[in-house]
Chain A
């Protein structure tokens, strides 16, 4: 709900109708759990393949969770590794032991998670039906291990591909990816874990959500995925609707807002999802063009008819804050990446550590930088109160 206060001044101000959206992105076919609520000081870990590694840069999923409770301190560790499978195959290094599989669990344990979002199956699906049992067994081992750590597992489905080389291969791959998605869903039911179906909404989504290679998501894809995730966790959308009746005056309106949480940053190339941003409808205006200012700064100019239909605010202070937050999270993610997958690992942590092992200290020191950034991130998740004024455009 938005907090609103009538402003003093010359404006005649009738009433503002504030509506939280009851919007559902799509029906979840699994797990009608109660909305998931994170508690103060909890640690959330992303473990999987490219779906999570690619998320580090845009940080949509993390931001979606981090901004939901601006007063609760949450920390995140992203252990996504491109090409990985439930056997940690992509975590291989020249130094063995630890084997890639041991690395997987060492890395997971070292993050001390309270919640683990688990996204595997995309790589395994290439083996089709034949690899299904092996995959499920591997997945369950990871779940067992998360259970043993006293943490909660949240399973994510696979996502479909747009183009896997040829059209024929695309059909085949998507069939397999759905098969694995179903298997993950089944495992979730069996193990009584939360499951979020990404496959169906992504396959139904019409916008261009794939990156150049046709198999990974782009920025818009992650923007959309964050929304799917929020619905999957039972969270209401961030969209807020402001309805202002200006019919008393017909020429001016003003209001102030303080959103409950920051919006998801609108992708540079994409449109703001209507239900994810502030939607302003101003009725009763006399015809003509009107400009809405935010803290005195022009934001949108539109004819009265458009204001009456409603306009989505895709820029503004909240968006700026949100974009800054996203940058901070991404930089923090990069620092963590450098710590757990360091350049020159062979010489610092690997079997040639007797040569450059002194630089372990440098990796340790990253904790200080990461900690400071997390502090900064936690302090910059709150929306601020803004004053809006609508007046005829010059």
Chain B
């Protein structure tokens, strides 16, 4: 590469020849001689989708460490870069830069690089416009200008400041122009911003998207949440999409007020469109004439961990979208390829900013680790083979008419630049020409309405109100244009005269996308009628996005409509709407009204669960008495299941200490009644309310042959009269009772009298049928230090069978988080078990490794580890990996999804995480400790932080909600729920195999989660007597229909198959051998669901009780909205070993596979 340096101080580099040598010599030999980090070697490593090719557009020293890029109207690429990232050295003066790259001769490679600005401090966003460029510079947004034309900024204007800096990889970033001339940008989870604007202080804590009018400095929060919202783009109709560099839900559909995961204080959140997807950064939407027609509208984003460029296809679905992953555009095994931004250029090609760094971890690897790359960086250019490039538009000297005509072209690039130039020309010049241009548009042009929407955006960018244009678009034939117009109305709500009438009308629009925008716009009315108009959308089909927006509008307008509703209970004119509003409300008075509505039977069925849960969370005693009345009446007169109402009464008492007290003795009839769910719920209520009069009844049930009754009776009795309960329960622990009842009795006794329970428990251990029963017995003791102590004391003096001691010891290792393992009580317990022979078998794999030993093991794993065997180690039950970690979204959610672990973490880091789990924690997996008012503690992960409660995920993966007024202290604690020493039982080679597997995760081949929607999360039916019985007497269909049969979760391998040899087999005397597995499908819109099995041989399938036939080799079934259970019976005589895979494919229904643990 020949570089000619010229013209200081602008530091212009002119590259005359790129890869001139590529034309000559033996390519392979020559590559080998190049340094490993040479761009040509990286280029040679790329694999690209059929029909595309890739070339280097620019590399170091023309550009270094690119973070974000945007084009200017002249077709120059502005790239923001930081070599100071991730952290300034002590006292270091940052000197980060903005590069401007130009391809002056149009050959597809940059030949000129200008340093527009330097001396910046970890800048993370750049956006040309308004005569210069906007730059994110740590706490501030600057507007830099070159006033003397030397290519270098010489004027700096601070636009805003007060943006947080608590994390250099979350600073404000990804600057983009919105269609209406506002500037949008993101910040991420650890950034807490407090910005003083002329319009008041604006605060955003955590992730989200800001919206700024740079001229007037009006700043608003557009959307909230996500862990590291990175990609941000608008489609041709102004709809916006986000990707998350640390989340796992692919494409996110954003609109004003949209709130996503991790937003502090959010009571409700929206989900992404592709749950279980890898993490993404950057985003662009394909448009224009260069790329293939079939790609138009595709979303291109980067899986930077796995060194890939992904593609997604959207399909409208209700008011939102369904997103489907398509085959990748680009991938490589070169781990330093880190595509961080993507932008389609003026020639229609796709440009990828490659940060080029083997290390991407921000926190887990030392800031100054020498493996971090500080000097490289590339911009790649992807073109479609044999397709003409778009002629580079020349817009800067265009007349207003020409710029307006540029809005007609299919390339989003050109339209965006034209809009920006029109904005800069200003209203005086543009407005009159614009009016003329609109009037001359051809009504027959299929793009006519979209062009009017473009004209509307130009009007908004130049701040020139055009009411007739706006209103004409509400009647557009295209729903996308109508939706775009309603969004535009939100910006102009103060200027629109008949706002209320318009909004009422658009809220009844036939298309849900328009209704969604209407519901949002109605917030601007700020009155009760706004809420009423918004609730009109309930007359038409709802979906998750619309429901979210409606809930948010209802909440925002609550004080206004509550006032109206109180004076006129029929204000909404429809009990269903009233119920919806009330169940969405936050105030206690709303709950009182909701309870009355519920009592009168006016709450429609689809809202009743939400209504009950709102009453449980916010209702007063009177409300809960009313619900109790409903339950009693429902049971006695309608003979129906009243467990839902009773559940609400119980939850209010248990979580908020709000106790219903109206004749609770009435619960007796329900307890004695025929309905098990109602009876058990009634027992629980009796217990939590302390109903003395039911004491005897409960006492009589503690030996019930239905153990569910028995356990609940013991538990509730203990709540009412602990002394009596103790006497009665203790009797059930004694020999002579059935073992399963004795175990339950010991467990329940533990809560009342730990010493007694410990003594009884240890006696019982000696008499257990199998060591498998040990964990159940121990579980009652482990959560509480006092109980652990009691059990430890007894075991110190008493020997138990060795097998039981080993089972107990293993269980403790898994069930007690690492930071409790050092507690005195736990140590005592372990000592007691060890005395009985309960010693953990430790393989030769030492867990006590220092940094250099870890390094050596890493090398060994890379050389001798077998990832195929490693995957089998990973899947072993005793290692419990899958209890906490998902792959491809399937598996436990307690720890991070590991899908692309190998491509994001160096081997040594992975080993370190296995040995010392507490030393590196991913965002979102910070351990939290909640101390409740009653001094009980809960350790787990935060799922959501809502205004009145928080939801935690505990060690077992269960979600627990805790009302905030019940919280005494809440802190984040360092460390991990992953216990150290999980791999201690492995042989060394097994450990190396496991490490090898983990380092391969995300790499091409069998250890990369495919983009196909494979069933990954299964329920495997245990080969129990009950199953065998059902199968023999009633056949496989009966098995499918009996959801109470016991099952264990299982997960597909990374490549998507379920190894059959792992499954339990039911054998009949006639020689039949079957395995049964189930999985769940969530259907969002009813229709046909199709599943493609790798092999249909020996498979029978059911959707609930309905048998599903194979059609053309596929399982096709028509399903209604909701979650459905699919059961497969596998004839193991026909299929002994071959793996099974099932893939969700196109059907008329919109469906998702249920993932998780």
Contact = CB atoms under 8 A, between A and B. Distances in A.
Given A211-B158, A344-B167, A355-B921, A83 B87 contact: no
Contacts of B138: 343
Given A343-B122, A343-B138, A344-B367, A354 B196 contact: no
A165 B87 contact: no
A213 B88 contact: no
Contact of A369 (B90, B216, B974): B90
B86 interface: yes
Interface string B342-373: 00000000000000000000111011000000
Among B87, B158, B166, chain A packs the most CB atoms within 10 A around the CB of B166
B908 to A, nearest CB: 15
Contacts of B164: 93
B728 to A, nearest CB: 45
Contact of A351 (B195, B200, B973): B973
A355 B363 contact: yes
Interface stretch (A21-29, A137-145, A286-294, A357-365): A357-365
A161 interface: yes
Contacts of A126: 200-201
Query: How large, as a class, is the contact surface on chain B?
Result: 35 or more
B920 A369 contact: no
A343 B87 contact: yes
B1038 interface: no
B198 A214 contact: yes
B86 A344 contact: yes
Interface in B302-328: none
Interface stretch (A30-38, A84-92, A199-207): A84-92
A346 B188 CA distance: 13
Contact of B166 (A89, A335, A350, A363): A350
A345 B201 contact: no
A216 B201 CA distance: 13
Nearest to B363: A355
B8 interface: no
A342 B362 CA distance: 15
B160 A213 contact: yes
A352 B200 contact: no
Given A83-B203, A341-B165, A352 B363 contact: yes
B974 A165 contact: no
Given A161-B198, A347-B363, A354-B918, A90 B972 contact: no
A109 to B, nearest CB: 21
B201 A123 contact: yes
Q: How large is the interface on A (under 10, 10 to 19, 20 to 34, 35 or more residues)?
A: 35 or more
Interface in A66-97: 81-84, 89-90, 92-97
Nearest to A164: B198
Nearest to B973: A351
Contact of A50 (B159, B196, B975): B196
B367 A163 contact: no
Nearest to A90: B194
Given A82-B161, A344-B367, A95 B198 contact: no
B971 interface: yes
Contact of B198 (A83, A97, A165): A165
B1043 interface: no
B189 interface: yes
Contacts of A214: 198
B971 A97 contact: yes
Query: Main SS of chain A's interface residues?
Result: loop
Contacts of B918: 354
B45 to A, nearest CB: 31
A388 to B, nearest CB: 35
Given A83-B196, A89-B194, A365-B90, A346 B166 contact: yes
Given A338-B88, A347-B167, A354-B918, A49 B190 contact: no
A356 interface: yes
A163 B91 contact: no
B929 to A, nearest CB: 11
Contact of B201 (A83, A169, A341): A83
Contact of A82 (B87, B162, B199, B367): B162
A50 B919 contact: no
Contacts of A345: 165-167
Contact of A163 (B158, B193, B194, B198): B198
Contacts of A365: 90-91
A312 B948 CA distance: 64
B90 A123 contact: no
A363 B919 CA distance: 21
Interface string B138-182: 110000000000000000011111101111100000000000000
A369 B194 contact: no
A123 B190 CA distance: 23
Contact of B217 (A96, A213, A351, A362): A213
Contacts of A92: 192, 194, 205
A88 to B, nearest CB: 11
Interface of A: 49-50, 53, 81-84, 89-90, 92-97, 122-123, 126, 161, 163-165, 169, 211-216, 335, 338, 341-347, 350-356, 358-359, 362-363, 365-366, 369
7 contacts: A49-B196, A92-B205, A161-B198, A343-B122, A345-B166, A346-B167, A365-B91
Interface of B: 86-91, 122, 138-139, 157-162, 164-168, 189-190, 192-201, 203, 205-206, 216-218, 362-364, 366-367, 918-921, 926, 970-975
Given A92-B205, A126-B200, A355-B920, 14 more contacts: A82-B162, A82-B194, A83-B196, A90-B194, A90-B203, A94-B206, A165-B199, A212-B158, A215-B196, A352-B363, A352-B926, A354-B918, A354-B974, A355-B364
The 9 A-B residue pairs whose C-beta atoms are closest, nearest first, are A83-B194, A90-B194, A82-B162, A351-B972, A345-B166, A362-B90, A355-B363, A354-B974, A165-B199
